[in-house]
Amino acid sequence: MASSHVPLLSLRDPDSPAFVDALGASFRRFGFAMIGDHGIDPALIAQGWALSRAFFALPDDVKQRYIVQGGAGQRGYTPFATEIAKGAQAHDLKEFWHIGRDLDPASPLASSMPPNIWPRECEGFRTCFTSLFAAFDRAGANILRAIARHLGLAPDWFEDPIRNGNSILRLLHYPPLDGASNGMRAGAHEDINLITLLLGAEEAGLQLRERNGDWLAIDPPLGALVVNIGDMLQRLTNHVLPSTTHRVVNPPAERSGISRYSMPFFLHLRPDFVIEPLAQCVDTAHPPRDPAIRAQDYLHERLREIGLVAHEGAA
């Protein structure tokens, strides 16, 4: 079979027609892109990795103090084997920490974006991840400018829809496998949000599902950003840009004693933004596929499906 791979792009000039074309082509083909030159400070990223390792190395009873009861895993700590991919039999073999946007508590959006919590045990955590959140937010906005151009929209089209977006920075830890583990590091799923920016995929395991059903390993060079389309952008573009199914498979025996760490930034729309297919992506041959829905309502529907929001009556 002809080899296919996700090309490595540079974000040095996000408005250049060459970048816009290459990014658009990669997203249409794979729903994924790889960006080497993303502009996020390597020293800040290195500090982020060190703090993530330090937090997950804490004893379970300490980590569990940072579970936000009734918070749908949107802030703080979510223990090992809590999240489950939609329709999967076994829970994911991962634990994670979520950081959201620091919003003025008086903002009308504050009810759908709870305040952050911070682990006392890890000095510098708040400062580092507040800066990293802002850096991912900027890189994401640049990628969305290129996506807007690719779709024939004004380059600043996404600026207002993502202002005060309900984005989340996730620190992920996939612990060593003991051999008896039932399930997968992350079962096959699609991301809920607009686009995802992921660091850490150089430790093998991430795979995307090609249109023909084959699984394709994502193998970025050290430090590169893996970017993928989520369901909200798929809905907005009437499926022109596909939200591609992906998973994280368990390592071979010789790597199974090693933790895997990754850091996805789920870039979300403003909670009150209404997602409906763009006129640029609809014609008689391609009628609208999905009904209009508020970003916040869609998020809640999906969080229930993956086990993070309790079912009706249990909340």
Q: Under the rule (CB under 5 A), what is the footprint of Fe ion?
A: 191
Q: Which does 201 bind (CB under 5 to 8 A by kind): Fe ion, ligand AKG, none?
A: ligand AKG
The interface region with ligand AKG, picked from 123-131, 198-206, 208-216, 282-290 by CB under 6 A, is: 198-206
The mark string for 145-164 relative to ligand AKG (x by CB under 6 A, - otherwise) is --------------------
CB of 295 to Fe ion, least distance (A): 18
**Residue 82: helix, strand or coil by DSSP?**
coil
Nearer to ligand AKG, 22 or 218 (CB): 218
Judged by CB under 6 A, the chain residues 215 through 254 that form the site for ligand AKG are 246, 248
CA 24 to chain centroid, in Å, comes to: 19
CB of 228 to ligand AKG, least distance (A): 8
7 and 26 Cβ atoms separated by less than 8 Å: yes
Confirm or reject binding of residue 207 to ligand AKG (CB under 6 A).
Answer: no
User: Which of 119, 251, 264, 271 is close enough to bind ligand AKG by CB under 6 A?
Assistant: 264
Q: How many CA atoms lie within 13 A of 67 on its CB side?
A: 13
Q: In which order are the strands placed within the sheet that holds 186-189? A: 186-189, 246-248, 206-209, 215-217
What is the rounded CA–CA span in Å between residue 16 and residue 21?
9
Beta-strand (E) ranges in the chain? 8-10, 32-37, 76-78, 95-100, 168-174, 186-189, 195-199, 206-209, 215-217, 225-229, 246-248, 260-267, 274-275, 293-294
User: Which of 93, 195, 201, 295 is close enough to bind ligand AKG by CB under 6 A?
Assistant: 201
CB of 232 to ligand AKG, least distance (A): 14
Judged by CB under 6 A, the chain residues 157 through 196 that form the site for ligand AKG are 170, 172, 186, 191
DSSP annotation string for 253-268: GGGTTS-EEEEEEEE-
State both tokens at 98: 């979520």
Nearer to ligand AKG, 145 or 170 (CB): 170
Confirm or reject binding of residue 308 to ligand AKG (CB under 6 A).
Answer: no
Binding residues vs ligand AKG (CB under 6 A): 170, 172, 186, 191, 198, 201, 206, 246, 248, 262, 264
